[in-house]
Chains A and B, each alone.
Chain A
Amino acid sequence: MEDELRRLIDSTALYSDARYHRQRGSRISLVNGEAAGKSTWSSEGYLVRSFKNTILTAFSSNEPRADKLEVRAKSWEEGFKPAAPVKRRVVVPQAKPVEDVSLEDKIKILKELDSLVRGEKIKSKLVRFNISLTEFKEERALLNTEGTYSYIERPGIWVMYSMVLENAGETMAMWSDELGALGGLELLDKWNIREELVGRLRSLDHVLVHGKSPPTGRMDVVISSLISGIIAHESTGHPFEADRVLGREAAQAGKSYLGSLVSGKFASNAVNVSDDPTIPSSLGFYLVDDEGVEARKRRLIVEGRINELLHSRFTAFKMNSEPNGAMRSMDYQSEPIIRMSNTFFEPGNMKFDELIRDVRSGIFLKSYMEWNIDDIRWGQRYVGLEAYEIRNGEVGEPLKYPVLEATTGEIYSSIDAVDDELRFYAGMCGKGEPSQAVPVWMGGPNMRIRNIRVKKLGE
């Protein structure tokens, strides 16, 4: 493979890299209790990238071949930062390889989970329950003109499910892709998936049947690690991608609020956010990025202050910084772009009870239905799915459906405490054109936000 890639790179370019990228996977689904069948896919090919005459070009093909395209035009790119050559081979292990379990047995596992969920006695009616098991294996080999050669093999599994419950003509819908990691079928035990599914069903039923209208106005809100994670991803991770700050994604996902901040400190001292691709078995795990730069943990926000951005060689050149190994690509058809890996709020020393203890009247937001955020990552909105009132320091009755809709500045400057429980959740992150979906983790501890505005759905 190394020799094949060496033949592909453009040795006359200032910089060139060639990548072999293979993805294989399959999905087994139960649609409302019925085994829908198995779909398999594979994707295999090469991408060659060259920076020549100050123009960046990329060519993707299923065959190992190069493009002869040479263009002279006004270029947005100005140059790139070199990096030390690396040689590295990484194979992520599976304790229970997915190949060792038959298709029939995997369907049996899903059917048992389906029966378990359907057998649970609840007050509302479970109208739909869909569940799928996805297996995947990714292989990437990269060689560049600096002499770097890296290879990684990433097998993993992903369980996704959705539920629709109905009570007195009112429906509640949820969808989850939170259970995903690198490894094999041993992950199903690690995730305690039976308890996870039954617990989720019970709590949704409780909210649907007994949930009352939430209080609105300004109050203290405690958010779970699930919501910390999505906030870290959406309003730290994305706006700290240097290509967004510079405008390379301006016509797609937009730019970043960092371009208009007047100060480097915009969050409280309790806020520390990192992105770390070196976490073993995480969905965002890698040790060398897709342009041959060694990966490392990036501390994006330290004690409320901007610390560093996610960089490529090219953005580092434009911003007079250093590349920090943040370039990834979805498959052989995709140019590498700056991506998050595993993005999270750093935990603190407090316990969850301590977060709640001195909240006189507030809300505990445990999970969300959906979220969205504007194109500079400043105005964000999370609609609570599972939420509870907090009264005199104790978590109380279920609420439906509070809405946290505020600016990044308001949320980050109002976080006054975080607990010590760091938990990660799987997700698929979209960016680039053509759109690239790459697997990530996002997470954090439970966090307390003081005196923030809460609305309710439909208000």
Chain B
Amino acid sequence: MESRLISSLLDSIGEREKAAVLEFRDSLMIKIVDSAVALIQRWRTVEGRIYVGEGGRMAIVGFSGNPPKDLEKEVRSSMTESPFFFEVPRNEREVRRDASDGEIKRSIANPEGLIGDLLNMMVERTSGVVTLEAIDRQVATSGGFLGMEELTTFTSHFRVFKGEHTGHWSTTGSQLNINEMKAAIRRAEEYASINDEVEIDEGRHRVMLSPMVFSNLLQLVGRMASAMSVEMGSSIFTKARPGDKMFSPLLTIFDKPLSDVRPVFFDDEGVITYDKAIVEGGEFKTLLFNTALAKRRGTSSTGNAGWMNPSPWNLEVAAGETSEEGVLDGDGVLFTNNWYTRLQNSMEGIFSTVGRDAILLIRNGKVVGRSRGRLRLAGRLGDLLKNVEAVSRTQYPIRWWEVETPTKAPFVAISSFPVTKSQ
């Protein structure tokens, strides 16, 4: 890995506090529709961003492609007083990590083998996407830090159609894993194959959430755990203090930058990342901080910069002690997939989300049938997390259209939650 470009970018700016991030990215996407290739897209891109600060004034300049021609002029014209100005942490060291997978890089360069494998795996009517990325990420700061990491990811999701009935599943990781993709297609097919239709009434139900659904809702938790969300008043943690018992004691939620799903070794300020619980045993532990927001709250960075907006790297819910069958035991409604999660009041966590694909009525642990119409979960996020009464031992790595931050999630059972429908 070459560090000349990032070093010269940093050198071209006269101000005292500065940090630069560069990401060189090679990517491939295979888009499948009805078990045939709809598009093959490749990317070769450079993306970067630069933080500059001095004397309480700061500017952030981002670019995709070539850096602005007169970077210093661009920076100078953007400098303003800001409470989010920060002094770049002193961290004089060089970090080089290679967590990349050669198979992913080879498939990006020569995708025909992977395309063939995918088409062979497809059941009759499958749509979905497989995306491979190889990222050379570099961070350099005026605090003396130079970090270079090589990362790879594969992200896949498949929706299987059996007539109008569908099932949908995803899998992701940092090492290409065809078997996991096959398993995802099998799971989607299993849900699509449930034929009997039933009416499920509106009202409170015991609900079970698949890892697809729980991962999606955990995106809200991850976003709200950002200290900037608290500043903006868009978080259920706005009034929370570490130690507050907020959720079910069965629930532990981590930010795990070192997870093998997508490891990231340092943040945008050159702070070394580490795994941490946001919620442990139902107790709120910490927000996610960068240096500026940590200083405003008299604490330390959690290695989650983003200069303005800290964010989680990978989310993970600790495995529970119940088997999958145990979570799905008894009566309830199993949501296997969802989308369009929207908050009506982000400070209070009032939301609704629309179930899609298979929404299954469970009686005595057995699937009775799938809901004839689509149903919503509509209520308070805090209540949902408070009412977690079982967590599966198994966890699934999920990343797809509705789950941006890679998330490892189990099946969970919620003792009671409002369910609504449109007709």
Contacts and interface: CB of A to CB of B under 8 A. Distances in A.
Same complex for A and B? Answer yes
A386 to B, nearest CB: 13
Contact of A60 (B43, B66, B79, B234): B43
Interface of B: 29, 31-46, 58-66, 68, 74, 77-85, 111-112, 115-116, 119, 127-129, 131, 157-159, 161, 164, 168, 231-234, 308, 339-348, 350, 352-354, 356, 373-374, 376, 378-379, 401, 418, 420-423
B41 A381 contact: no
Nearest to A408: B422
Nearest to A44: B65
A42 B33 contact: no
A264 to B, nearest CB: 20
A418 B315 CA distance: 47
Nearest to B62: A41
B141 to A, nearest CB: 18
Contacts of B345: 171-173, 369
B340 to A, nearest CB: 4
Interface residues of A, number: 79
Nearest to B353: A372
Closest 6 CB pairs of A and B: A379-B422, A128-B233, A37-B82, A44-B65, A372-B340, A43-B64
Given A40-B78, A247-B33, A250-B159, A381 B65 contact: no
Contacts, number: 248
A69 B64 CA distance: 23
B272 to A, nearest CB: 25
A376 to B, nearest CB: 8
Contacts of B31: 433
Interface stretch (A51-59, A212-220, A357-365): A51-59
B339 to A, nearest CB: 6
Contacts of A372: 340-342, 352-354, 376
A121 interface: no
Contacts of A188: none
Contacts of A260: 164
Contact of A59 (B32, B41, B112, B376): B41
A124 interface: no
Given A59-B41, A171-B348, A374-B374, A74 B36 contact: yes
Nearest to A26: B78
B308 A335 contact: no
29 contacts: A34-B82, A37-B59, A40-B62, A40-B78, A41-B64, A42-B63, A57-B39, A58-B41, A59-B43, A60-B41, A69-B111, A71-B115, A74-B35, A74-B36, A127-B347, A128-B232, A130-B233, A164-B347, A172-B345, A173-B344, A251-B129, A251-B158, A370-B343, A373-B340, A375-B354, A380-B422, A406-B422, A433-B29, A459-B420
A381 B352 contact: yes
A61 B308 contact: no
A373 B43 CA distance: 32
Nearest to B61: A40
Contacts of A379: 354, 373-374, 421-423
A171 B32 CA distance: 45
A425 to B, nearest CB: 17
B232 A130 contact: yes
